[in-house]
Amino acid sequence: MIDSPGLSFRAVLDIAPLAYVRRLLGDHVCALLDLIHEEHGEDVLRGVAASAVSVDRLVGDTDERAQLLDLLPKPKRAELAERLGSDGSAEPGTFLASLAWTADQRRTLLGFLGLIVDRAPEPPASFRSSSTATYPLFPHQRFAASKVRQLLYNGERKTVLHLPTGVGKTRTAMNVICDHLRQSEPCVVVWLARGRELLEQAALEFEQAWSALGNRQVIVRRMWGEAPADIDGFTDGLVVLGLDKATAAAKDDPVFLERLALRTTLTVFDEAHQTIAPTYRRTVDALTLRSDSSLLGLTATPGRTWQDLSEDGRLADYFARRKVMLEIDGYDNPVTALIEQGYLARPEFRTVAADSGMKLSSRDQQALATSFDIPDALITQLAENTQWNLQVVRTILDLSEQHRRILVFAASVAHSRLIVAILSIFGLNADQITAESSTRHRAHVIKRFKSPGPRPMILSNYGVLTTGFDAPAASAAVIARPTRSLVLYSQMVGRVIRGPKAGGTPTCEVVTVVDPALPGFGDVAEAFTNWEDVWGER
């Protein structure tokens, strides 16, 4: 009985009253489906609900879980009760109602409903690795690396490497790191970043770089997630350290950062515009205490904002206003040169207006005026708007006729789930990843998206793929997440701008769905030089 198949969530919805399904979807989704499919029928409603509704939320809510369990046929309730440890003495419904519904019990219910439940992965037995490969740089990368070296070892011993997204900041920085390790034996370099994708990308990139450029065996120590913050006996190599892990390790061991700093002569901060955030700054300050320690920041957007010059000035001051900006002879803006030479795709920016009819209260207007970005409450309101979602779906459908790989930046987790569910109605190959996605699901979906295939694929995401994600075949992006952050907007655009010389596409298309009531961007062609006045000489 324990090995019997359970009952899938879709099967539960197939036998549920239509009123229950409509309640789960909400009025705004039902209205949207009415517009898209005038005669959609019950089957479409149940199909969208099976994809768009968060079963985790239903299972975690006491009332919702009780309603869900009541929908199970009696034999299936008995089967579930047995899986959860019932000895049969109590009626299955009574037994299920008596449970405390611990995390393990909720996982059992999710598995019963046909959902894959990943447990936290076991940390690798070893956090040391090495590899072999070649590691060339383009001319503009070599020029930038040379200028960085000049600034890292004199004066303030700090600088920011400012390269456009898609031009190889990580690869250029790894060349600098390898030079540093060769010239300072033994020594430790610390790479700081936030997010599993960025951290793993850095570790793998260093392994590839050092196998071609190194002169001895060194250690690559990964420190994020469940990996131990162990530096005992570590004196030569690279520590790839998650910023959250650094904070947690310093809390557990107040001298952790100081012990690491005694061995560290170069610290690299990926996405350097975050450096002056108080928690992160404490980490960087602690790691750069040695008089011979250098600091290299990496970013495509050397500012924290676009409207607060004082905040951007603080960032520039922290790096002593020393910044290496890409320069190419004969061009005022190097981005133009990189497009013409095929390193970056030639972008086409356009906007699609979706008038949601949103009326901003005086409180909303005040929140917009005082926030660095659009408040979450306004974005949530927009993500549930029928006209807005109709325009987002239409935009994606239009792009799918011309592009094989399309990235969608949704306004929330629920918004992303809804978009994918509706696209699936049209027979499109669509999937999503969010911060809630398991590691296994995320890896599987990204692998499919990066793999060649004749069918178009749409990958929707929320808060995951703005950094640390490289899919050169992606040639279109739909930005359905309103933002007034030029940093965030530039990062989203950067996911599809890799050119043919860098394994990408000759052209790319970026469509931003805008609402007239909210501020935002429609074109970042000049974003690369946006902060130059802030970084000028004092």
Q: What is the DSSP string of 426-450?
A: TT-EEEEEETTS-HHHHHHHHHHHH
- Mind giving me the DSSP string for 41-76? HHHHHHHHHHHHS-HHHHHHSHHHHHHHHHTS-HHH
Alpha carbon of 25 to those of 12, 18, 250, 476, 525: distances in Å? Answer: 15, 11, 44, 29, 39
- Tokens encoding 39: 């005669």
- Tokens encoding 268: 């690299």
Distance of CA 242 to the CA centre of its chain: 15
Q: Which residues are CB-neighbours of 483 under 8 A, at least 6 positions away? A: 373, 374, 489, 520, 521
Instruction: State mean pLDDT over 150-178.
Output: 88
All domains of the chain, ordered by start, with CATH? 9-112 (no CATH), 139-325 (3.40.50.300), 342-527 (3.40.50.300)
% of the chain residues with pLDDT over 70: 81
Decide if pLDDT at 432 tops 80.
yes
Q: Which amino acid is at 441?
A: H
3-state secondary structure 487-521: HHHHHHHHCCCECHHHCCCCEEEEEEEECCCCCCC
Torsion, CA 283, CA 284, CA 289, CA 293, rounded to 10? 140
Decide if pLDDT at 373 tops 60.
no
- Tokens encoding 520: 């935002």
Instruction: State mean pLDDT over 334-345.
Output: 82
The pLDDT of residue 132 is: 42
The span from the CA of 491 to the CA of 496, in Å, is 10
**Bigger pLDDT: 536 vs 51:** 51
Q: Which residues pair with 431 in a beta bridge?
A: 459
The pLDDT of residue 451 is: 81
Q: Cβ(337)–Cβ(493) under 8 Å?
A: no
Decide if pLDDT at 196 tops 70.
yes
At 303, is the pLDDT very low, low, confident or very high (cuts 50, 70, 90)? Answer: low
- Tokens encoding 230: 């162990």
Decide if pLDDT at 182 tops 90.
yes
Which of 85-89, 249-253, 330-334, 486-490 is modeled with the greatest confidence? 249-253
The span from the CA of 438 to the CA of 117, in Å, is 8
Q: Cβ(194)–Cβ(242) under 8 Å?
A: yes
Decide if pLDDT at 377 tops 60.
yes
Tens digit of each residue's pLDDT (9 = 90 or more) over 51-95: 889 898 899 999 999 999 999 999 999 999 999 998 888 898 899
Mean residue pLDDT across the chain: 81
Decide if pLDDT at 151 tops 90.
yes
Decide if pLDDT at 99 tops 50.
yes
Decide if pLDDT at 27 tops 70.
yes
Tens digit of each residue's pLDDT (9 = 90 or more) over 409-419: 888 888 888 88
pTM of the model: 0.65
